[in-house]
Amino acid sequence: MNPETHYEVAIVGGGMVGAAVARALAGSRVALVSREHRPEIALQGFDARVYAISPGNAEFLDKLDAWSAIPVRHRTPVHAMRVYGDDGASLIEFDAYRTGCAELAWIVEDRKVHEALWRGLEGQGGLALFPGSSVQDLEIAPERASLRLNDGRKLDAMLVVGADGAHSFVRDRACIASEERSYGQTAVVANFACERPHRNVAYQWFQGGGGRSAAASGGARRGAVLALLPLSGEHVSMVWSTPYAEAARLLALDGAALAGEVAAAARNVLGELSLVTPPRGFPLQRLNAARRAAPRVALAGDAAHVIHPLAGQGANLGLQDARALAEVMAGREPGRDPGDLRLLRRYERARAEAILAMGATVHGLYRLFDARGRGLARLRNAGLNLADRLPVIKNLLMRHAMG
């Protein structure tokens, strides 16, 4: 076995989760295989794709020396959140200050997180980077796993971490089944300048499930969810999850027309809007891997689970995977094989409850607000108002999301 090509851990996927795992395993002999090259420093302006990073994950990124590498103006705190039902009147509000917290979440751009995580990788001892590379073959043997890259290079590793997204090559080669289902929606994302100050409040509206907004949209937005998230300098990031046909129509609008539709759908809470980044669309699906671990393989991030963005928790689940996997690796007994399935099941058990609970909650909310019928509409909107009047429930929901 060639020591120059042998690693304790080989991470496949250099996105946010894969890079976080690599940073968290500092001190181990690690290979990071990434299709992308090192992220280039972004130009001035905003990235259209953003994440709502929980305080717990912000602390994790800080321990990796990545949080401080994100410019302050590109991490915006969320102090409150208002979620509206589809009847135009029901509402549940979350306020960080009322529970003694500084913020509910931080809105951070995808590119900025990616840059911050990669910035320290080149100088990390024990880490070998393989940017612009993909895995063409993966063989899993009892004593090790072998990877063949697209340029012919071969690597051996005791553990392979699949952080290579929803269409994971590692998951397929490890023969881990997954349940996949399309939501029949596209997430349309864009950034806007707003006329009125957002005051660090995030907004979300359920649309078109049978209430008045359904009639107003002619049913085209059935089950849709619109979110406006605060950015610095009186800007907001929009995530509008809506059926394919309606998303295609929105993406075809010119900037002024799109801004007008968003402002109207948001009930003009922030006044007039002006488009500052071109809109982009991302098809939405639900995915759940049958297992998160197999002999010599662990899955993390979208390779293991994908959920609807209505709760903004997809990125947080992925970072929590990275945290949990790093903790299991750090806590293993001296000389313990990092690819031992019994060890990896510690990681699987540590993540099972949180992933199941978040997936069930998010999918349940989507199904509830997607359902037709006036009776169901009255029931779900009444439930939203009731939850707003029960501080215990609100605090449990908020603290779970802030994890």
Q: Is residue 48 part of a domain?
A: no
Write down the pLDDT at residue 360: 76
Lowest mean pLDDT among 6-10, 40-44, 135-139, 320-324: 40-44
Q: Looking at the structure, tell me whether residues 249 and 318 fall in a common domain.
A: no
50 closest CA partner among 230, 226, 196, 283:
230
pLDDT band of residue 376 (cuts 50, 70, 90) is low
| CATH assignment at residue 73 | 3.30.9.10
Q: Looking at the structure, tell me whether residues 249 and 101 fall in a common domain.
A: yes
Q: Is residue 49 part of a domain?
A: no
Q: Is residue 51 part of a domain?
A: no
Q: Looking at the structure, tell me whether residues 140 and 272 fall in a common domain.
A: no
Q: Is residue 386 part of a domain?
A: yes
Provide the residue range defining the domain that includes 203: 61-110+183-284+373-402
Average pLDDT score over the chain: 87
Structure tokens at 179: 């349940």
403 closest CA partner among 324, 343, 290, 347:
324
pLDDT in tens, 85-123: 877 667 888 888 877 788 999 999 999 999 999 988 877
Residues 6+ apart with CB under 8 A from 43: none
Backbone angles phi, psi at 391, to 5 degrees: -55, -35
| Burial of residue 44 (number of CB atoms within 10 Å: 0-12, 13-18, 19+) | exposed
Q: Looking at the structure, tell me whether residues 248 and 345 fall in a common domain.
A: no
Q: Looking at the structure, tell me whether residues 205 and 233 fall in a common domain.
A: yes
Q: Is residue 44 part of a domain?
A: no
Q: Looking at the structure, tell me whether residues 104 and 200 fall in a common domain.
A: yes
Q: Looking at the structure, tell me whether residues 262 and 389 fall in a common domain.
A: yes
Count structural domains, the chain: 2
pLDDT in tens, 293-343: 999 999 999 999 999 887 778 899 999 999 999 999 999 999 899 999 999
Write down the pLDDT at residue 395: 58
Q: Which residue has the higher pLDDT, 207 or 361?
A: 207
Q: Looking at the structure, tell me whether residues 266 and 248 fall in a common domain.
A: yes
Q: Largest Cα–Cα distance of the chain, in whole Å?
A: 67
Q: Looking at the structure, tell me whether residues 19 and 153 fall in a common domain.
A: yes
Q: Is the pLDDT of residue 203 over 80?
A: yes
pLDDT band of residue 397 (cuts 50, 70, 90) is low
Q: Looking at the structure, tell me whether residues 29 and 94 fall in a common domain.
A: no
For range 245-262, the mean pLDDT: 97
Q: Is residue 189 part of a domain?
A: yes
C-alpha pair distances (Å), 227 with each of 126, 202, 207, 230: 42, 7, 11, 10
Q: Is residue 80 part of a domain?
A: yes
Q: Is residue 34 part of a domain?
A: yes
Instruction: Give a three-class secondary structure readout of the chain.
Output: CCHHHEEEEEEECCCHHHHHHHHHCCCCCEEEEECCCCCCCCCCCCCCCEEEECHHHHHHHHHCCCHHHCCHHHEEEECEEEEECCCCCCEEEEECHHHCCCCCEEEEEHHHHHHHHHHCCCCCCCEEEEECCCEEEEEECCCCEEEEECCCCEEEEEEEEECCCCCCHHHHHCCCCEEEEEEEEEEEEEEEEECCCCCCEEEEEEECCCCHHHHHCCCCCCCEEEEEEEECCCEEEEEEEEEHHHHHHHHHCCHHHHHHHHHHHCCCCCCCEEECCCCEEEEEEEEEECCCEECCEEECHHHCEECCHHHCCHHHHHHHHHHHHHHHHHCCCCCCCCCCHHHHHHHHHHHHHHHHHHHHHHHHHHHHHHCCCHHHHHHHHHHHHHHHCCHHHHHHHHHHHHC
pLDDT band of residue 213 (cuts 50, 70, 90) is very low
| CATH assignment at residue 18 | 3.50.50.60
Q: Looking at the structure, tell me whether residues 89 and 8 fall in a common domain.
A: no
Write down the pLDDT at residue 170: 98
Q: Looking at the structure, tell me whether residues 260 and 274 fall in a common domain.
A: yes
